[in-house]
Amino acid sequence: MVIVAINTKEPSQSTFIEVDEGQRVRIGRKPDLDSEDTPLKVTWNDRLVSRNHCTAVRDGKNLVIKRLRALEGHSKPNALFSNAIPEERELLPEPINLSPGEAIAIGTQGFTAIHWLEFEEEIEAIAEKCRQALDEEKSTYQSSELGQQDYDEVAQLDEYSLRLQLKLIQQELPEKVLSGWTNQEDLFTRASDFLEKALPGQKGVTAAFLAIGKSGQQTDFTLLNPDPLASCLLYTSPSPRDRG
């Protein structure tokens, strides 16, 4: 039996581990190596996956998954959902029992799925399904008409949404955007996620950061937070050579 973590935005990125009866696996971006659990590391940059996110234990042919407790000063890892497109995901009560062939998704907007398979050979079929889903999503997005957003609706946000915005500014901006980032791509990816969450209820908006530089008569563009589905430009910054 095999646990597989796969990047649903880039299905070529996956990691897996064979699991024996009763074996406990710790899943996360940087699983604690001092733990007695067997680590399964999510190697791609999904900011909705915590360092130590959840544990999985084999129980016969089933896999039992539940989130780990929050570290002091941190919120509990993002909830676990049905493995569907973000707008169709359903919150799953814990502990979650997976049968062979079933999967879960981490977070409402995350792109990490955890699959429970009988054989390692099934991984490529899972990756191919992810690629097909991506192709369908891109095709639907490209063929859809862009609508106009009335941002006056922001004034009508309910109390919950306003409290969410306040939390974003007070906590997530300093904790998840302005600190802890490891490189430029990580910083701009965190910033784009923050901007996307800043207007609750504004669906279909993606923040894209571009570096713009000019070489002779040619203008170069570099996408700083790689996202093939980016739909609008919210911020630009000069390229490194222009800063000099």
What tens digit of pLDDT does each residue of 25-74 get? 999 999 988 888 999 999 998 888 999 999 999 999 999 999 998 776 66
Most confident of 69-73, 117-121, 240-244: 117-121
Q: pTM above 0.85?
A: no
Lowest mean pLDDT among 57-71, 74-88, 116-130: 74-88
The SS3 call for residue 54 is strand
Confidence of residue 138 (pLDDT cuts 50, 70, 90): confident
pLDDT for 243 equals 42
> Which domains can be identified in the chain, with CATH numbers?
2-142 (2.60.200.20), 157-243 (no CATH)
